[in-house]
Every structure is written in structure tokens, then in C-alpha cells.
Chain A
Amino acid sequence: MFPNLRRDVIFPVCGSVILFVLFVGVGLAYQSQFSGAAERLVTFALIDAILVLGIQIYVGNTGILSFGHIGFGAIAGYAFALFAITPAEKLKRIPDAPFGLLDVNVSPWLAVVVAVAVTLVVAFVVGIGLARSGAESGAVSATVITLALLFVTHELARNWPDLTGGDRAGLSFRIGGTLDSRVPVYLALLVSIVLARLYAQSRGGRVAVAAREDDLAARAMGVNPLIQQMVALLISVVVVSVGASLRVYENGSILPRDMFFNLTLVTLVMLIVGGRRSVTGALVGVAVITTGRELARRLGQDGFEVFGIGLDGAPLDWIFRENLKSVFMGVSMLGFMIWRPSGLLDDWELDKWLHSRFGRRSEVPPESLPVIEPDDSSVLVAEGVDVAFGGFQALDDVGIRASRNEVVGVIGPNGAGKTTLLNVITGLVESSSGSVALGGVDLSSAQSFRIARSGLVRTFQNLRLFAALTVRENVEVSALVAASLRRHRPPPDVDGLIAAAGLWEHRDRRARELDYGTSRRLELARAAATAPAFLLLDEPTSGMSDSESLLMVEQVRQMAGLVGAGVVVIDHDLNFIIGICDRIYCLDCGQVIAEGTPEEIQADPVVQAAYIGSAAGD
């Protein structure tokens, strides 16, 4: 579950404890400075931090913007209240409570458990809906579904007075006072920080982040992002439910408007200001926004002293008014989106920084890896593939065969259908007829991640790396997928592959910072790290110079050898294909026009005609 015990468990847990101590310390220091109402402010900041961490687990790792988490909070809050308040109190507020809730009388701590359970059930159903809608990073439809959840829970709460006490202040619940001590809040906060960090470092979290960076590339590696999105949603909802219950307990009441747009806005602004991709950032955001709102509120009320300078409102009365804090919130959100959309900290984490400073790590590139002899049992066969785009026949009865101890090339001029063929084999384009099979297992209509899992892994013509991840993380995440899917084989050696691909010195750089040739090598290494049966390469030399292409020949051979994979490579660069392939298919206008060894292909007049122009064939 965790690839590296020190880096992924020990450091994150220690880092979380430090974060917790710092955050609580700042709160206590503030509280001792300003007595009275400050205590309540700090308590709410601690609870808000739990809510924001919950939202971060989902939004940060999946990249899906959710307005619905406070809607989950409302469900948890009401469930908590309905179970926690005494029957006598309920008789006064909601005498017609349904489901026999009137007589329920449990301790607040059991009520939290009930709240979490009820909300999890709702979250599971919503999660299935999100998955069906094709949720992926930045998806509008998913965001609208979460918005609908927020509005529907709000409407229900307002219009079901028998259950919720309705819309009016006079019908609010009183549970029986505020929290007696902060211990439960501290405990929940600490657990939330640890949970958020551990999830991000776990295999599931890493896979979710990969899908956040590029959904299609993650699928092509064998990841089903929908599963990880569901896991992230459920974990985040547990944290949000606990936070919401504590909020209701501390407030002593719950009204529909308590868990609606306003709190959604506040928590989202906290998250994006601090940096939505970072747990540390989420906490920084809570601290910054809580301070800013408090400052705006005081300035709006009557002005006050800052560092001995009296800010009396009078001359600036036109600007410091009652609702200054809502302007502050809106401007924070807008300003950060315009000038710093990744927030103050982006994806910086305290424990990652500590690990890079103090963690033990090898500086020497590993020894070269042994070449794995491919077992020749599984043969890739595509037969009779037809694809039409509208009236255009992109592929017409195309078939290829490849075994694992050879490099098979597909050449053809632009528009011949090479990439379409690869897309059919990897499940991105559906063929109207024909079949694709690996080792006798039919993969014709399988989803792309299932095809990748069965051993066909591809690269992309227009690079699709996980841009925000480092080189090492890019390779590691696909090795993790391989290790979990093909347990009977030894997991690929991440460092060995990185070194073999000539990426050792770049291993800590982010993929988006790499130059073009290096990016291509990384994509090859990442595909190889899934330990596939076949590597399917889509124009690996596109945009490269002749000398770089020659280097690529070696690189592809070496990578395939290290993981014992067969290779199917598509290119229109004849020199590259002839240099690397044992056998070549030539495509033109969607049909296979020739097949043979490089020498045979070079000598074939039909191929020459297709390449040089029809004149040569005449």
C-alpha cells in the first residue's frame, strides 16, 4: 500500500505531528493575545481546518472541483444532531420526527459514528453518479452534480421541518451547550492531517494524482481512475462528516443556512488560497483566511489598533463597512485564481521537504539491470480491423501479428491509419469489425485500462506525461500499478529503469520542465515500468533530429529488453523503422500494402510508390 516505509509513512506522520503542533500553537498564541471571543474563533478555525482537510483529500488529489462537500457536511450535521439531542428536547423542537427518531438517545460520540455512516452511504451513491458522468480533473459535469447535491440537501433541510426543524431560527436544535473541552477537536484534527498525508502518499493516492494530471495516460497505463476517485471521495467524506458534527456540537444548533453556500465559499477559499494540492497548504489557507476575515470584520465594525497605529474607521468609513469580510473572501478567491491559481504553497509538503533534506537516499545510479528473456507464449494478433470516421474509411481489413521476441514496425505516410490502428488495439477507438487478441485472450471491446492491464501499454504521439510529478514519480506510479496487477512477476526496478533511460540526473525534476527529447525518453521509461507484454510506441521519434532518432533505436531496444517486452512501433521515419525493426507492415490509405523484413520492404515497389509518390509505381 505504501511504496516506501520511510518516505511514505514515517516522514508524513512526523510531518503531520509538526504541522499539528504549529497550527494549534499559532491558535493558542492568538487566543492568549486576544481573550474573550478569540477562544471561540480559534475553536472554529480548528474545526474549519478539519473540513478543509476533508475537501482537500478529494479536490486536491482528483482535481475535481466539488461544491458538494458542505452538502455532505449538512447531512452529517443533521444526522449527528438527530441522534445526539435528548428526546425531551426533540419533543419540543420536532414532535413529529419520522423513523422513530424521537426516542433515540445516544452519546454524542456514537452520534458522530452514525453521522459518518449515514453520510458515507449518500457519498457512495453520489460517487457512482460522479463516475457515470465521466468525472475527471476539471470536469464541469461533475462540479454541477456536486452543486446539485448542495442545493438539494439545503432544499430538503428547509422543507422537511418534521425532521430538521425547518428554516427558522426559532426551530433550531439545542444539543446542550458547546464542547466542554477541545480534546476531541484536537484529536480529530491530528487524525485528519495524518490521514490526508498518508492517503496522498499511498498507492491509491498516487494513482489518483496521476489521473488528475492526465486521465487518458493513466488509463493507458492500466489505471481505472473512477475507483480511486471513489476511494478519495469516501475518505474525504469521513473527515468532513466528523468536522461537520463537531461544528454542530460547538454551535449547539444547526440551521439549513449553516451548511450552505457561505461555508462552502469560506472552506473553498481557504483551500485554494493555501494551495489545494497540499495538506500543508490547506492548513496555511485556514490560518490566513481566518486571520484575514477577522481583520476585515473588525475593520468593518469599528476599526482597531494594529501595531500601535490606530485605524479609526471614521475617515475611511466609506470602505470599512459591515460586510467587508465578504468582499475580502470574494477578492481572495478571484485574486488567487488570476495571479496564483495553485495557491500559496502549490504542492509543497513539509514532510517531503524534510525527507529531501534529511532522508537517506542513494546518490549513485544503480548497476545496469539484467535483460529479461521474453516468454514467447503470448502473441498479439489484430485481424480484419475496420474503422470508418463518417464516410472516411480509416482502416480497411487491417491485420498485424507480433510476438514478444521481435520488434514489429508499422510504417506509412501521414493519414495512412497508423495511429488509428494503435488506438483500436489500445481501446481508444472502437472498430466496426475485426478483433484484437493477446495470447488468445480477446480484447476487442475491452476498456483501455483493462487492455493495459492485460499487457498492452502505449506511448502517445503528443506526449502525455504527468506534468506536475517528478520524473521519478512518473515512473514510480506506473511501477506501482504493475506491481499490484501482475503479482507473479518481479516488480520493475524504478531506479534501474530511470538510469537506463538516461534520466538519472533529471530524476527530481518535474516532467513539465523537461526538454522534448528527455520527455520522450521519460514516456518510454514510464511505459516500460508497467512491465507490459508489449510496448506500443506511437511515433517515438516525431520531432527529433536524425541523430536523436538513432539514439532512440538503442533506447527502445534496451527498455524492451529490461522488461522482456515485445515492441510494436509506429512511425513514418523510414530510417528509424528500418534501423529498429525485425519485421515491418506498410499501411497506405487504411490498408496493409506490404509486409516483410526491412530489406524486403525497402525493395518493394509498392512501398516506394506510396512513399515517394505514385510516379514511382507507374
Chain B
Amino acid sequence: MTELLQNLIDGLGRGSIYALLALGVAVIFGVMHLLNFAHGELITVSGYASFWALGAGWSWYLTVPLIVAVSVLTSLIIERVAFSRVRGADDFTLLLTSFGVHFVVSAIFLLYVSASVKTYPRPAWVTNTFAVDSLRIEVFDTVVIVVTIATLVATTLLLQRTTFGLSLRAAAADFDTARLMGVRSNSVIRGAFALSGALAGIASVFWLMRSGSTSPTAGIDPMLKGVLAALIGGLGSLRGAVLGGFTLGLAEVILRSRLPDSVASLTEGVVFLLIALLFIFRPQGLISVPHAERV
């Protein structure tokens, strides 16, 4: 029982980051029907930015807003340079465009920035733990969970209470009709990329705190996690994306603690296999978004 509770807390901590990433992926899928395989690059770019800032003597706490700002900016630049040019293209083109962005960004970092892994200091409290009964809880996990919940509440308010939120939800439900009703496609799409960048920025802070390092290919892992979580939840469903993030986090923690040692290193493979199976038996994800085709 204690072990299960421990797993649950660890899984929530891990899942929070995935949920933030997945939500960013789902927001963009909603407005552009684009599965963003370049989402992880926001973490690469903002990670390097914070590395430079730390090197220039910034305090760690100042790098937090920097990471978020760089992530938002990068997201907007990527939209402007690449995705705005393929709006309305077929799914095949969209998929490969986002893969192309992913490869270009990581190749540019590899070539012109650094091929080596950058490590940097973290505040001491990140690794501290405290005990509740027999549970060992990381301070870090607590912070992640609390901040994530706050972010999700803020995002919900943004989507429910503002005109931008209404436009975005309308566009996610039916982009063409939303446009006919006067929703401005440019501002909604840019807003979606900015929101997605902000969510990725917060996730990036946590991701970098946990790993304590970054490299040109550091974006692959968070990208896969975010995309897979969004897929598990059912693409296009924002609630589903959050649910998918927590599900993926829990599944990883439980698999890691329950699989026999000999196959524990296979966790990633097993997670992928489970996701493939999910797609085979429930291709619409956990929460299905009605997607009627008019004939």
C-alpha cells in the first residue's frame, strides 16, 4: 500500500511535466491539426539560454522567467518561419514539417552551439526530501505538482473566461467555421503557439531541474513524452492531454518499480509497446473527440 502511494506521488510529479508538454501539443493540434514533433526543441533552446545566463552570473531564480520567455519566443519564431507556411496542408506534409523543424533545430545546435552535454547547478532544495509517515516525498515533486496545478487552473481560466480562450476553443472544435464566425485565424494560431510555448517553458524549467543538463538532442525525450501523452489522451482534447500526461507518468513509475530488474532497462520500450497497443485497440485515445466527416 505504502509502495503504491509512493508510486502515485512519484508518478504525479513525473506526470505533471508530461501533462504540461502534452497540453502544449494538444493546443497546437487543435488549431492547426499539426502533431508537433518539434515541441521538445523549445526545451533545448530555452535550456541553452539558461545555461548562458547562469554562465554570465545570473542567479538561478532569474533564469526561470528567462526560460519561459525564450520558450514562448522560440515557439512564435518556429510558427513564423515554418508552420505558417504549411497551414492547411495535408496531414502527411504537416507531420514531416514538424519533424523537419525538430531535425533542423537539433542539427543547428549540434553544429553551431555545442555537441557536448552542458551541466549546470541547481538550487539545493531540488534534491531534498521530507517524510510523511513512511512516505518519502521530494520537495521537487511537491513544487512541480503545485505549480502544475496552478498553471492548469490559470490555463483553464484563460480558455474559459477570455475572448482569446473562446476563439481558441472554437477554432479547436471547427477551425473553418470559427473563421467564418469572425475568429481571426492568424491571432488564434499565434496565440496558441504562445500558450504552447509558455506551457513548454514551465515544463522546461522542471525538466532542466530534474536532468541538470542539456544537449543538442535533449529535445527528443520531452518531445516524445509530450506527443505520446497527447496521443494517449486523444489528440485535440485538452482535458485528455492532461489526463494522458498523468497516465504516462504513472505508467512509467509503476513499470520501473514493478518490472523485474532484467527488463527494467526496457521501460521505454514497454511504454512504447503499450502505446502502440492502445492505438491498435482504441485509436481515438482515452478521451475521444467527435470527429465527424460530412458526406
Contacts and interface: CB of A to CB of B under 8 A. Distances in A.
Contact of A65 (B92, B273, B295): B92
Nearest to A334: B100
A95 to B, nearest CB: 18
Interface string A322-363: 111011011101110110010000000000000000000000
Interface stretch (B45-53, B147-155, B250-258, B275-283): B275-283
B161 interface: no
A324 B108 CA distance: 9
A156 B266 contact: yes
A305 B107 CA distance: 25
B86 interface: yes
A212 B108 CA distance: 35
Of the listed residues B263, B272, B279, the one surrounded by the most CB atoms of chain A closer than 10 A to its CB is: B279
Interface in B257-295: 263, 265-266, 268-269, 272-273, 275-277, 279-281, 283, 293-295
Contacts of A428: 295
Nearest to B216: A323
Interface residues of B, number: 46
Nearest to A300: B111
Contacts of A268: 96
Interface string B225-245: 001100100010000000000
B115 interface: yes
A156 B266 CA distance: 7
B100 A330 contact: yes
B112 interface: yes
B107 A327 contact: yes
B104 A330 contact: yes
Contacts of B95: 65, 138, 140, 143
A329 B90 CA distance: 22
A151 interface: yes
Interface stretch (A33-41, A127-135, A168-176, A365-373): A127-135
A283 to B, nearest CB: 20
A159 interface: yes
A338 B279 contact: no
Contacts of A145: 276, 279-280
Interface in A139-184: 139-141, 143-145, 148-149, 151-152, 154-156, 158-159
A272 B99 CA distance: 13
B39 to A, nearest CB: 14
Contacts of B17: none
Contacts of A265: 103
Nearest to A327: B107
A137 interface: yes
B7 interface: no
B170 interface: no
B138 to A, nearest CB: 27
A331 B101 CA distance: 8
A138 B99 contact: no
A334 B107 contact: no
B92 A144 contact: no
A322 to B, nearest CB: 7
Given A65-B96, A151-B268, A139 B91 contact: yes
A419 interface: yes
B35 interface: yes
Interface in B68-112: 82, 85-86, 89-93, 95-97, 99-101, 103-108, 110-112
A186 to B, nearest CB: 31
A330 B97 CA distance: 10
Contacts of A419: 295
Contacts of B89: 337, 341
Contacts of A323: 107, 110-111, 115
Contacts of B110: 323, 326
Interface in A451-466: 460-462, 464
Contacts of A272: 96
Contacts of A7: none
A423 B293 CA distance: 12
B268 A341 contact: no
Interface string A548-579: 00000000000000000000000000000000
A186 B104 CA distance: 34
Contact of A326 (B111, B263, B268): B111
B269 A333 contact: no
B283 to A, nearest CB: 4
A333 B276 contact: no
A65 B37 CA distance: 14
Contact of A159 (B91, B115, B265): B265
Nearest to B269: A155
Number of chain A interface residues as a range: 35 or more
Interface string B155-198: 00000000000000000000000000000000000000000000
A330 B107 CA distance: 7
B273 A462 contact: no
A329 B102 CA distance: 11
A590 interface: no
B284 to A, nearest CB: 8
B268 A155 contact: yes
A331 B81 CA distance: 12
A144 B99 CA distance: 13
Interface in A302-321: 318, 321
Contacts of A156: 266, 269
Contacts of A155: 266, 268-269, 272
A62 to B, nearest CB: 11
Contact of B103 (A139, A151, A326): A326
A323 B268 CA distance: 28
A346 to B, nearest CB: 13
B111 A151 contact: no
Contacts of A149: 276
Contact of B231 (A129, A140, A329): A140
Contacts of A151: 268-269, 272
A540 interface: no
A148 B272 contact: yes
Contacts of B112: 318, 321
Contacts of B35: 140
A141 B283 contact: yes
A297 to B, nearest CB: 13
A379 interface: no
A538 B295 CA distance: 9
A275 interface: no
A152 B266 CA distance: 9
A330 B103 contact: yes
A333 to B, nearest CB: 4
Contacts of B85: 338
Contacts of A327: 104, 107-108, 111
Contacts of B227: 144
A216 interface: yes
Nearest to B265: A159
B92 A338 contact: no
B86 A159 contact: no
Contact of A337 (B100, B275, B279, B294): B100
Contacts of A144: 227-228, 231, 275-276, 279
Contact of B294 (A63, A139, A331, A462): A462
Interface of B: 35, 82, 85-86, 89-93, 95-97, 99-101, 103-108, 110-112, 115, 227-228, 231, 235, 263, 265-266, 268-269, 272-273, 275-277, 279-281, 283, 293-295
16 contacts: A63-B92, A65-B95, A133-B279, A138-B95, A140-B95, A144-B227, A151-B268, A152-B272, A154-B269, A159-B269, A321-B112, A327-B111, A330-B104, A338-B85, A338-B86, A462-B295
- In the complex, the 9 A-B pairs of residues with the closest C-beta atoms, listed nearest first: A138-B91, A155-B269, A334-B100, A330-B103, A330-B104, A148-B276, A333-B100, A326-B107, A129-B280
Given A133-B279, A326-B107, A330-B105, 20 more contacts: A137-B90, A141-B283, A144-B227, A144-B276, A145-B280, A148-B275, A152-B272, A155-B266, A159-B263, A216-B295, A265-B103, A268-B96, A323-B110, A327-B107, A330-B108, A333-B104, A334-B82, A337-B93, A341-B86, A341-B96
